[in-house]
Structure 1
Amino acid sequence: MRPALRTGFTTGTAAAAAAKAAALLVLETASPTEVDVPLPAGGRLRIPVACLRRTADAAEAVVIKDAGDDPDATHGAHIHAQLTWDPTGTEVLIHGGPGVGRVTRPGLVLPVGEAAINPAPRRQIAAAVREVLPYGGVHVTISVENGEAIAQKTMNPRLGILGGISILGTRGTVKPFSHGAWRATIHTELAVARAAGAKQVLYTTGSRSERFFRAHFPAPASAVQVADHVAFALREAARQGFAHVHWALFLGKLLKQAQGMPCTHAHFGPVDLDLLARLARERGIDLPLASAPTALAASDMLRGHAQAPELYRALMAQAARHARDFARAPLELTYSLFALDGTLLAQWSTP
Structure 2
Amino acid sequence: MDVEGKNLRRGWTTGTCAAAASKAACQALLGSEFPALVEVTLPGGQRPAFALAMEERDEGLARAGVVKDAGDDPDVTHGALIISTVRKGRPGSGITFRAGEGVGTVTRAGLPLSVGESAINPVPRKMIAAAIAEVAGPMADLEVEISVAGGELLAEKTLNPRLGILGGISILGTTGIVIPFSCAAWIHSIWRGIDVARAAGLSHIAGSTGNTSEKAVAAYHGLPEIALIDMGDFVGGMLKYLRSHPVERVTIAGGVAKMTKLAQGMLDVHSKRGMADLAALAELARDAGATEALAARIAAANTVAGAFEEAEAEGLQIGERVARLAWRTAAKALGRSEIALEILVFDREGRLKGRAPFTPSDHSDASSS
- Give the TM-score taking structure 1 as reference length: 0.56
Change (3 A) 1:252 1:59: closer
User: Per-residue deviation at 1:172?
Assistant: 1.0
Of 66, 74, 77, which aligns to 1:71?
74
Residue 151 of structure 2: aligned partner:
147
Any gaps of 5 or more consecutive residues in structure 2?
195-205, 231-237, 254-258, 268-273, 281-324, 337-360
1:103 counterpart = 2:106: yes
Change (3 A) 1:292 1:314: closer
Kindly name which structure, 1 or 2, has the bigger radius of gyration based on alpha carbons: 2
- The code of the aligned residue for 1:8 comes to G
User: Per-residue deviation at 1:17?
Assistant: 0.7
1:221-240 map, 5 Å: none
Residue 117 of structure 1: aligned partner:
120
C-alpha separation between the residues in 1 aligned to 2:175 and 2:213?
Answer: 24
Residue 323 of structure 1: aligned partner:
265
1:55 counterpart = 2:62: no
**Structure having greater relative contact order (Cα 8 Å, sep ≥ 6):** 1
User: Per-residue deviation at 1:161?
Assistant: 2.1
- The code of the aligned residue for 1:159 comes to L
C-alpha separation between the residues in 2 aligned to 1:71 and 1:58?
Answer: 34
Change (3 A) 1:313 1:154: closer
Does the Cα contact within 8 Å between 2:208 and 2:214 map onto a contact in 1? no
Does the Cα contact within 8 Å between 1:260 and 1:322 map onto a contact in 2? no
C-alpha separation between the residues in 2 aligned to 1:152 and 1:259?
Answer: 20
- The code of the aligned residue for 2:9 comes to R
Q: Which 10-residue stretch deviates more, 89-98 or 25-34?
A: 25-34
Residue 84 of structure 1: aligned partner:
87
Any gaps of 5 or more consecutive residues in structure 1?
183-204, 208-226, 229-248, 262-267, 282-287, 339-346
Residue 126 of structure 1: aligned partner:
129
User: Per-residue deviation at 1:98?
Assistant: 1.3
Aligned pair count reads 254
Residue 157 of structure 1: aligned partner:
161
Change (3 A) 1:80 1:251: closer
Of 32, 46, 57, which aligns to 1:29?
32
- The code of the aligned residue for 2:26 comes to A
C-alpha separation between the residues in 2 aligned to 1:112 and 1:323?
Answer: 40
Of 8, 15, 19, which aligns to 2:11?
8
C-alpha separation between the residues in 1 aligned to 2:163 and 2:54?
Answer: 32
Does the Cα contact within 8 Å between 1:34 and 1:46 map onto a contact in 2? yes
C-alpha separation between the residues in 1 aligned to 2:76 and 2:106?
Answer: 19
- What RMSD in Å do the two structures reach over aligned CA positions? 4.7
Residue 141 of structure 2: aligned partner:
137
Change (3 A) 1:259 1:119: closer
Does the Cα contact within 8 Å between 1:41 and 1:170 map onto a contact in 2? no
Q: Secondary structure at the match of 1:67?
A: coil
- Give the TM-score taking structure 2 as reference length: 0.54
Does the Cα contact within 8 Å between 2:66 and 2:82 map onto a contact in 1? yes
- The code of the aligned residue for 2:176 comes to G
C-alpha separation between the residues in 1 aligned to 2:102 and 2:96?
Answer: 18
Does the Cα contact within 8 Å between 1:274 and 1:290 map onto a contact in 2? no
- The code of the aligned residue for 1:150 comes to L
Change (3 A) 1:40 1:56: same
C-alpha separation between the residues in 2 aligned to 1:61 and 1:290?
Answer: 41
User: Per-residue deviation at 1:137?
Assistant: 0.6
Q: Which 10-residue stretch deviates more, 153-162 or 124-133?
A: 153-162
Does the Cα contact within 8 Å between 1:271 and 1:295 map onto a contact in 2? no
User: Per-residue deviation at 1:167?
Assistant: 1.0
C-alpha separation between the residues in 2 aligned to 1:289 and 1:110?
Answer: 25
